[in-house]
């Protein structure tokens, strides 16, 4: 009888430890994803620093226009509009990476998709997207996501 009680207590302790380890494993994975996402966001901030400079008076516009491939789009839009579009697109790619890493919960993602759909209705955002399509797929999958959203609109 005492042995049975001891086995039962030990089994319960092992069961509790098992669930605690599972929970700890999930927390560790989420923490790792959060750290990776923070690192990714720092990289995006560095990209956006240039975009923000282009939005300022006496910006880097002349330097940027000399880069290969910018002539066609700068005939239709000024660099302030283009920089703004890059900021919008970078915002959503960052959110996409957050979703992939589990930082943005699946039940919130529909809101992000609705925002993507609405913001891509702006002519300049869509034009920059089409021109720089391959430049916004660092995380692989973002390009397909946006094109799918646009196709459903």
Is 138 inside any structural domain?
A: yes
Is 1 inside any structural domain?
A: no
Q: Could you tell me the residue range of the domain that residue 63 belongs to?
A: 30-152
CA distance 130 to 62: 22
68 φψ region: left (φ > 0), alpha (ψ -120 to 50), beta (else): beta
Higher per-residue pLDDT: 21 or 130: 130
Is 145 inside any structural domain?
A: yes
Residue 22 pLDDT grade (very low, low, confident, very high; cuts 50, 70, 90): confident
Question: Cα–Cα distances in Å, from 10 out to 14, 15, 17, 74, 93?
Answer: 6, 9, 10, 72, 49
Is the distance from CB of 59 to CB of 102 less than 8 angstroms? no
| Number of neighbouring beta carbons within 10 Å of residue 113 | 18
| Number of neighbouring beta carbons within 10 Å of residue 83 | 24
pLDDT score of 43 more than 80: no
| Number of neighbouring beta carbons within 10 Å of residue 93 | 21
> Total structural domains in the chain?
1
pLDDT score of 120 more than 80: yes
Q: Tell me the CA end-to-end span of the chain in Å, nearest whole number.
A: 69
pLDDT score of 49 more than 90: no
Is 78 inside any structural domain?
A: yes
70-87 tens-digit pLDDT: 666 767 888 888 888 988
Is 24 inside any structural domain?
A: no
pLDDT score of 3 more than 70: yes
Q: What is the mean pLDDT of the chain?
A: 80
Higher per-residue pLDDT: 84 or 5: 84
Is 92 inside any structural domain?
A: yes
CA distance 84 to 54: 9
What is the per-residue pLDDT for 57?
62
Is 127 inside any structural domain?
A: yes
Is 98 inside any structural domain?
A: yes
Higher per-residue pLDDT: 95 or 63: 95
What is the per-residue pLDDT for 105?
84
Q: What is the pTM of this model?
A: 0.64
- The torsion angles phi and psi of 52, rounded to 5 degrees, stand at -65, -35
């Amino acid at each position: 009888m005492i042995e049975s009680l001891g086995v039962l207590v030990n089994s319960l302790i092992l069961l509790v430890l098992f669930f605690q380890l599972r929970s700890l494993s999930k927390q560790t994975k989420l923490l790792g994803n959060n750290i990776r996402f923070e690192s990714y966001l720092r990289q995006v901030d560095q990209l956006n620093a240039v975009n923000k400079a282009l939005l300022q008076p006496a910006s880097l516009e002349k330097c940027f226009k000399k880069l290969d491939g910018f002539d066609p789009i700068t005939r239709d839009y000024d660099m302030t509009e283009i920089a703004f579009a890059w900021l919008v697109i970078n915002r959503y790619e960052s959110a996409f990476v957050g979703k992939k890493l589990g930082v943005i919960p699946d039940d919130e993602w529909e809101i992000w998709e609705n925002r993507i759909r609405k913001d891509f209705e702006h002519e300049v955002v869509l034009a920059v997207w089409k021109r720089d399509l391959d430049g916004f797929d660092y995380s692989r999958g973002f390009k397909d996501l946006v094109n799918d959203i646009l196709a459903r609109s």
